[in-house]
Amino acid sequence: MKRIASFVLFLALYNHNSADAGTNPWAGIKTPVTLGHGAESIGSYTAGCLSGAVELPPNGAGYQVMRLSRHRYYGHPDLKNFIEALGQSAAEQHLGVLLIGDMGQPRGGPTLSGHRSHQTGLDVDVWFLLSKQAESRALAYNERENWNAPSVLRDHSDLIDSRQWSRANEQILQISAEMPEVDRLFVNASVKRELCRTHAGQNWLHKIRPWWKHDDHFHIRLKCPKDSRYCEGQEPLPAGDGCDASLAWWFSAEAKAPAKKLPPPKAPVLPARCNQVLYR
């Protein structure tokens, strides 16, 4: 039942248009700010902000950034370095070009709609689509805006679509999970089940966590940087590869029960230090 309650809350938070620009000033800010001498992730992944954000270039070795109009290609320097290293690995192993979705806003904080996380500069979405077109050229602005990330599930079912899923997707997830700065990766439960079918018992599966949606992209979350003393990490992951009864639950009748409607959630309460980031 605890997972059901989490699902109801997830839907409310994911679909809730949290505020307009007048009540959520974070989304209107176009430039980063630095409080001290370096970057600092402040608060939790779902209620925090970012000092000293850096911008990820739209093109790099093995990656290209999508949806540039959203202006969510900022993050902690650790995140920028991670994405560039992951892209380099994809390029060196000829896995295709990573299409990067949301990172964070210039000063982090809550967005106008959609993501409730991505607030401290330590989260990034990566599409499951590994574009071969982007290997030979930089995608045009309209391509970045209009391309969609295809689901890797067949006809809205729990079955993996072999036309969209590939060995390269598995390799990218493994490379990501084995990088020490990664805390966890969120994928659709069917993706986790497929990985358990092909890689059960491997240590890197420990970081691959099932979560609702996430059938067209995976979500990478980094650990709190060592020099960010106000950063709040998540609880430690449970032991094991996760290919057990906890995974089977996601395909149960309880997990698939319709969620009850809840009133719109309140805006997250951010740490007091975020006021300095916002109004600097």
CATH number, residue 33: 3.30.1380.10
Cβ atoms of residues 191 and 234 within 8 Å: no
How much is the pLDDT for 112?
86
Q: For 230, which DSSP code?
A: T
The closest alpha carbon to 231, from 16, 26, 49, belongs to: 49
How much is the pLDDT for 15?
44
Domain count for the chain: 1
Asked if the model's pLDDT at residue 2 lies above 90, the reply is: no
Cβ atoms of residues 62 and 137 within 8 Å: no
pLDDT band at 23 (very low <50, low <70, confident <90, very high): confident
pLDDT band at 191 (very low <50, low <70, confident <90, very high): very high
How much is the pLDDT for 95?
95
Q: pTM of the full predicted structure?
A: 0.91
Mean pLDDT for all residues in the chain: 91
Q: Which residue's entry shows tokens 């805390």?
A: 183
What is the Cα–Cα distance from 186 to 192, expressed in whole angstroms? Answer: 9
* % of the chain at pLDDT higher than 90: 81
Asked if the model's pLDDT at residue 14 lies above 60, the reply is: no
Range of the domain at 126: 2-279
Asked if the model's pLDDT at residue 110 lies above 60, the reply is: yes
DSSP string, 87-155: HHHHHHTT--EEEE---B-TT----SSS-S---SS-EEEEEEEEESGGGTSPPPHHHHHH-----SBST
Q: What is the pLDDT of residues 57-70, one digit of tens each?
A: 999 999 999 999 99
Q: What is the mean pLDDT of residues 223-245?
A: 96
Residues 6+ apart with CB under 8 A from 274: 42, 43, 48, 49, 108, 109
Asked if the model's pLDDT at residue 20 lies above 90, the reply is: no
